[in-house]
């Protein structure tokens, strides 16, 4: 049977930033450090917890613009396991990019794969986008393997464009079109088990 809770999968749900996330940002999440295999291209000076909270508050108050958005990834035990966001969204051309981070204690549980699929379904099938570009740094072998396993197509490599930890690394580009995604994630039939055959939402309109 079709799952009608769009933002909830078998493993995770995606949600907007809430007050509890602001409170958590004021705590020390050192155990979630991912510098060795993160999506960041450099190691910066230490930040402070108040700054983390302020940045989170800005994200919470920001009006969705140009289809860019930021989600919290939460497992079904209510634990915050990561973050995923979209950016460089160009509706006219139908292209966008995304970034995702899963905290180290929650690696290898399938959370990233499901979160990515949910976001792609929304952008391809609801907003009408036709192409996603994913940017991965060559030191992040886990991310490279994940994108290959998900069916992303290798599109190019810019050599020695990132410098961190005393070495230069490459920037690698993967892509996926709507048609390619539909082959990997077939469109679910919404007609079965629908409560409202007219498309009129009685709860919303009374």
Residue-wise pLDDT for 7-51, tens only, equals 999 999 999 988 888 777 656 444 444 433 444 667 777 666 666
Q: Are 71 and 85 in contact (CB under 8 A)?
A: yes
Greatest alpha-carbon pair distance for the chain in Å reads: 63
Residue 106: how many other CB atoms lie within 10 Å: 18
Query: What letter would DSSP give residue 119?
Result: H
Are β-strands 12-15 and 167-177 bridged in parallel, bridged antiparallel, or unpaired? unpaired
Distance CA 178, CA 182 (A): 6
Distance CA 169, CA 159 (A): 7
Average pLDDT over residues 72-98: 96
pLDDT band of 192, cuts 50, 70, 90: low
What does the pLDDT look like over 135-168, one tens digit per residue?
999 999 999 999 999 999 999 999 999 999 899 9
Would you identify the CATH topology of the domain 12-189?
Aminopeptidase (3.40.630)
Residue 95: how many other CB atoms lie within 10 Å: 17
The domain ranges of the chain are 12-189
Q: Are 71 and 83 in contact (CB under 8 A)?
A: yes
Distance CA 45, CA 38 (A): 16
């Amino acid at each position: 049977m079709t799952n009608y809770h769009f933002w909830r999968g078998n493993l995770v749900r995606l949600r907007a930033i809430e007050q509890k996330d602001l409170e958590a940002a004021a705590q020390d999440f050192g155990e979630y450090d991912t510098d060795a295999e993160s999506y960041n291209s450099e190691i910066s000076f230490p930040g402070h917890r108040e700054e983390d909270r302020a940045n989170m508050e800005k994200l919470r108050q920001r009006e969705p613009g140009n289809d860019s958005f930021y989600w919290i990834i939460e497992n079904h035990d209510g634990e915050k396991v990561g973050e995923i966001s979209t950016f460089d969204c160009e509706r006219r051309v139908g292209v966008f990019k995304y970034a995702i981070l899963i905290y180290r204690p929650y690696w290898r549980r399938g959370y990233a794969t499901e979160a990515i699929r949910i976001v792609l379904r929304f952008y391809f099938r609801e907003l009408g986008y036709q192409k996603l570009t994913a940017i991965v740094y060559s030191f992040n072998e886990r991310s490279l393997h994940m994108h290959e396993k998900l069916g992303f197509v290798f599109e190019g490599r810019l050599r020695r464009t990132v410098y961190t930890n005393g070495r230069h690394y490459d920037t690698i580009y993967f892509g996926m079109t709507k048609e390619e995604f539909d082959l990997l994630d077939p469109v679910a039939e919404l007609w079965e088990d629908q409560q409202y055959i007219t498309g009129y939402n009685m709860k919303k309109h009374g």
